[in-house]
Amino acid sequence: MLILLYEWLKDTEAGRLLNFLRYPTFRIVAAGVAALLLGMLIGPKLIAALRFQQHGQSNVREDTPDTHQKKKGTPTMGGVLILLGISFSTVLFADLRSRAVLAALVLTLGYGFIGFLDDWLKLSKRNSKGLAGRKKMALQTLFYFVAIFGLLCTWTGPDGAFTGPKLLIDTRLTLPFVPTHWFNPDFGWFYVAFGWVVVVGTSNAVNLTDGLDGLAIVPTIVAATTFAVLCYVAGTTLHISDMATVDGVSRLVGVPLWKYLGIPQVPGGAELAVFCASIVGAGISFLWFNTYPASVFMGDIGSLALGGALGGLAVVSKNEVVSAIIHGIFLAEALSVMIQVASFKLTGKRVFKMAPVHHHFELKGLAEPKIIVRFWIVAILCGGVALLSLKLR
């Protein structure tokens, strides 16, 4: 919104004073700071309101170790705080003319709505079942298609005539550590199905990870920070000097940063970095209240929304495969559940004491804070490896 204000006033004295708004780097940092400050300011009152509204209700999942029963009475749906921070900062500092940013917002808020329904049913019905799995999957698919066909697709040609759907995003697949000029297969319309797996899978994986105080939010912050870097370098207009042969003579030439790194260009990537920064700021403010012992849980309204946001970023930033590294913690949690279910159905035996895997470590006797911090360290390692893939291409 502020970028539009600057463009309206840029030829005036006031516009010259607001010249700093045209720089994405300023707006990226400002979005993170704004989301953090908003969360810190409204967090205490919001948590108090949630505690009053949910007084006497158990917000602890049934499929958790017995030690979790001591957390009864801790309010849930704290993800509202995260969504407010993300929405406020993105609307204020990002260029909302970017279809990629709007698609990311639709996935975040749409999946947040699904999480709200799930949390509300759990609280109103006083059980931990919530929204039925098939209904949840159907709604996740619906919002995914709204983002793809409503924002990342065009239905008309240059003359305005109806031509049918045409994807505006690159449907070629990029691999970590492999330059795009080496291997970059085009998936065509199959990319829509592949993107669905990434988005819905990430959303549900983050939801599974949200089982200990602060366990899901820090890997989310790390992932959003990693995506901020990836989006910025893929969308920036910065050039870097590189040797090239021109008319048989080697000389220094200016090469776009994304081309130099061997990654696909992402139009609007810098604006996506603003969205990423808002997730980081909102996540840090939530961590203030969610760190062990938690004063509030994010609930499905937070975990499904954050998963939708991260999955959407993986698709629109062309980091679908490398997101498996970035989301290493979430992927491990989801795989542990899948392995546990498959093993029990096929052999009648369980691989883990309890799934997701963080509960397995709890039952093995590790203290909750130790499990949480070690998972954080692994998340940071995963983010670092993903960033290394840029240069190693």
pLDDT tens sequence across 100-156 = 999 999 999 999 999 999 999 988 877 667 898 899 999 999 999 999 999 998 887
Distance between CA atoms of residues 293 and 83, nearest Å: 22
User: Per-block average pLDDT, block size 10, for the chain (393 residues)?
Assistant: 81 81 92 97 96 72 70 89 97 94 97 96 78 94 95 80 82 82 83 96 97 95 97 80 53 67 84 97 97 94 97 95 96 96 93 94 94 97 92 71
Rounded to whole angstroms, the Cα distance separating 298 from 288 reads 12
Nearest partner of 356 among 53, 8, 98, 64, judged by Cα:
64
pLDDT digits (tens, 9 = 90+) for 368-386: 999 999 999 999 999 999 9
Beta-bridge partners for 166: 154
The per-residue pLDDT for 154 is 84
**Domain segments of the chain as ranges:** 2-322
- The sign of the dihedral angle between the CA atoms of 47, 49, 50, 54 is positive
Measured on CA atoms in the order 67, 69, 75, 81, is the torsion positive or negative?
A: positive
pLDDT of residue 376: 97
- What 3-state DSSP class applies to 278? helix
pLDDT of residue 127: 64
- Alpha-carbon distance of 114 to 107, in angstroms, equals 10
Phi/psi-derived region of residue 57, left when phi > 0, alpha when psi is between -120 and 50, beta in every other case: beta
Which pLDDT score, from 0 to 100, does residue 245 have?
53
Query: What is the value of pTM for the model shown?
Result: 0.93
325, amino acid identity:
I
Dihedral sign for Cα atoms in the order 196, 200, 203, 208: negative
> For 332-366, b where at least 16 C-beta lie within 10 A, e where not — what string?
bbbebbeebeeeeeeeeeeebebbbbbbbbbeeee
